[in-house]
């Protein structure tokens, strides 16, 4: 069932996430984030996108600015756990036409970005589990974090979001039990680079939050549906 709240209104799970942010991240960043969240418009999604476009772009920049500092293990777990909820809060209202709309030849569709996140989640989970439980010391980190962007969603949006959240909960449960030795376990990429599992998780968090910013910005810039009909997906020239 489609949620009844509007984009920008308080989603049921968003209040608990805000509480975690307030108690886990620095107060200055919290205040900026909360100001942006509470200042969103309360009108229809289309009107809100027009009124809040600048705020949406600013919020994306804020999220990326937060990630410029080195993240602790608790920050990493918090961010990884929040990505499915952040994503769902931004896209739950999108229909098929909006999911497939392409702003221009160089732009991904919202559907492909969501599919990318959903596809990456089990690969990241498997990488971390094999390293932790099986002692695996070699893994293709890049392929797990950044699989192909070419595919569109092959399942209903709600199912995809639920799958993403379910896999990520499993990953977060695994990470919650880790001590210093587990986070510092080294893993080697076939390309020759070596990093520990904390660095892997930092890369995942930064990569996913960049895509959340993309999703926020692209959804804010969607064209309004024409009166009497849905929006038409753009052609190869974005027209």
The per-residue pLDDT for range 132-177, each reduced to its tens digit, is 999 999 999 999 999 877 788 999 999 999 999 999 999 999 999 9
Measured CA to CA, the distance from residue 158 to residue 121 in angstroms comes to: 16
pTM above 0.75, yes or no: no
**Model confidence pLDDT, tens digit, residues 50-107:** 334 444 444 444 454 455 568 999 999 999 999 999 999 999 999 999 999 999 998 9
Q: Where are the domains of the chain?
A: 14-220
Architecture of domain 14-220: Up-down Bundle (1.20)
**Rounded-to-integer distance, Cα 151 and Cα 109, Å:** 10
**Would you give the distance in Å from CA 137 to the centre of its chain?**
27
d(CA 87, CA 91): 6
Contact 128, 197 (CB under 8 A): yes
């Amino acid at each position: 069932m489609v949620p009844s709240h509007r984009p920008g209104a308080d989603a049921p799970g968003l209040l608990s996430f805000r509480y975690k942010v307030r108690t886990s991240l620095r107060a200055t960043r919290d205040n900026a984030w909360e100001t942006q969240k509470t200042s969103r418009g309360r009108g229809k999604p289309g009107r809100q996108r027009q009124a809040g476009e600048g705020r949406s772009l600013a919020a994306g920049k804020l999220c990326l600015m937060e990630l410029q500092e080195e993240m602790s293990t608790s920050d990493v777990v918090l961010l990884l756990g929040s990505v499915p909820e952040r994503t769902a809060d931004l896209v739950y209202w999108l229909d098929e036409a909006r999911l497939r709309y392409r702003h221009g030849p160089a732009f991904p569709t919202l559907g492909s970005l969501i599919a990318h996140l959903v596809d990456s989640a089990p690969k990241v989970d498997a990488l971390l589990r094999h390293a932790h439980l099986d002692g695996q010391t070699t893994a293709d980190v890049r392929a797990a974090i950044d699989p192909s962007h070419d595919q569109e969603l092959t399942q209903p949006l709600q199912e995809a979001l639920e799958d993403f959240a379910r896999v990520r909960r499993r990953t977060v449960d695994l990470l919650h039990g880790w001590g210093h030795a587990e986070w510092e376990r080294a893993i080697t990429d076939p390309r020759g680079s070596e990093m520990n599992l904390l660095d892997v998780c930092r890369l995942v968090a930064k990569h996913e939050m960049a895509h959340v910013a993309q999703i926020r910005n692209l959804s804010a810039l969607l064209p309004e549906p024409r009166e009497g009909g849905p929006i038409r997906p753009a052609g190869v020239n974005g027209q």
